[in-house]
């Protein structure tokens, strides 16, 4: 696997529909691993499971990176990326981040960043990341599924960009056991009541992740189910 240093080249756009869409076009045209697209503003930012992602212009890091080629060593990429985001944020502000499986980044129970990975294996993945950097509480849309927060504390979009490029370069090549161990340390759901829908539905208590990155949930009657990230929508009940 070639080592990827993210951020070179960087394509910055003032406005675009979605940086993931621009990065996808670049990936399909053969852009190198490490290329990054950023924007001040998105008009059709995409979130997970078909949802929209929006942020006031200039107040969030809107970032899409190309990673290629993909192989089995990237199997835990959806877990590694939010760990990189945690590291990047903690490098610029005195904060402690956790990950809400599969890949939301939380500070004190509020979402500060989201990840949307779109891939065409084995050729490429576009790693889309949105980090709320300096969005005021009253600037978040009212209909958000989770409470939202910003990094704040004087952090800047360029500062987090630099920090994220560096952190991501390390995390995409971390061995699986390190990724799993770090995710388990930052797991925001451990021991919490969750309910899921999608591939069936149910509820129970989150009991960490298995070695494939699935969320293990203990259901009533001491049963256990392993939920795949692409398959379910999760609700956190307590
Ligand atoms: C989520 O939490 O649902 C994922 C949000 C991902 C948003 C980022 S912003 C930059 C990139 N471009 C997009 O259209 N989406 C991702």
pLDDT digits (tens, 9 = 90+) for 78-88: 999 999 999 99
- Does residue 225 sit in helix, strand or coil? strand
Q: Is 224 in the pocket of ligand 1 (CB under 6 A)?
A: no
Which atom belonging to ligand 1 lies closest to the Cα atom of 63?
10
Q: Given this model, what pLDDT does residue 199 score?
A: 76
Q: Given this model, what pLDDT does residue 49 score?
A: 86
Q: How far is the CA of 115 from the centre of ligand 1 (A)?
A: 6
Q: How far is the CA of 133 from the centre of ligand 1 (A)?
A: 14
Q: Given this model, what pLDDT does residue 39 score?
A: 98
Q: Given this model, what pLDDT does residue 2 score?
A: 58
Using CA positions, which residue lies closest to atom 10 of ligand 1?
62
- The vertex-56 CA angle with 54 and 61, nearest 5°, equals 75
CB neighbours of residue 65 within 10 Å: 30
Q: How far is the CA of 49 from the centre of ligand 1 (A)?
A: 11
Q: Given this model, what pLDDT does residue 1 score?
A: 52
Distance CA 28, CA 139 (A): 35
Torsion angle (degrees, nearest 10) of CA 23, 26, 31, 34: -10
Q: Is 132 in the pocket of ligand 1 (CB under 6 A)?
A: no
Q: Is 163 in the pocket of ligand 1 (CB under 6 A)?
A: no
Q: Given this model, what pLDDT does residue 238 score?
A: 59
Q: How far is the CA of 33 from the centre of ligand 1 (A)?
A: 19
Q: Given this model, what pLDDT does residue 142 score?
A: 80
pLDDT < 50 regions, the chain? none
Q: Given this model, what pLDDT does residue 236 score?
A: 86
Which atom belonging to ligand 1 lies closest to the Cα atom of 49?
3
| CA proximity to 156, closest of 57, 61, 84 | 61
Q: How many CA atoms lie within 13 A of 231 on its CB side?
A: 11
Q: How far is the CA of 218 from the centre of ligand 1 (A)?
A: 30
Q: Pocket of ligand 1, candidates 47, 58, 65, 113: which has the most ligand atoms within 8 Å of its Cβ, to mutate? A: 47
């Amino acid at each position: 696997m070639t080592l990827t240093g993210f951020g070179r080249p960087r394509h910055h756009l003032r406005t675009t529909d979605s940086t993931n869409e621009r990065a996808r076009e670049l990936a399909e045209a053969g852009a190198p691993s490490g290329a990054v697209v950023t924007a001040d503003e998105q008009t059709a930012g995409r979130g997970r499971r078909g949802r929209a992602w929006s942020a006031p212009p200039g107040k969030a890091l809107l970032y899409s990176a190309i990673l290629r080629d993909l192989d089995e060593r990237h199997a835990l990429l959806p877990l590694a990326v939010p760990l990189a985001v945690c590291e990047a944020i903690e490098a610029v502000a005195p904060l402690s981040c956790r990950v809400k499986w599969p890949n939301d980044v939380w500070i004190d129970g509020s979402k500060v960043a989201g990840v949307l990975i779109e891939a065409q294996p084995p050729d490429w993945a576009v790693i889309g990341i949105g980090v709320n950097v300096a969005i005021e509480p009253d600037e978040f849309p009212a209909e958000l599924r989770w409470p939202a927060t910003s990094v704040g504390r004087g952090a800047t979009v360029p500062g987090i960009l630099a920090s994220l490029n560096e952190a991501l370069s390390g995390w995409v090549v971390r061995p699986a056991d390190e990724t799993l161990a770090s995710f388990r340390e930052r797991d925001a759901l451990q021991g919490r009541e969750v309910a899921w829908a999608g591939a069936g539905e149910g509820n129970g208590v989150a009991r960490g992740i298995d070695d494939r990155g699935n969320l293990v949930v203990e259901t009533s009657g001491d049963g256990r189910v392993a939920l795949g990230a692409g398959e379910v929508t999760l609700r956190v009940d307590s």
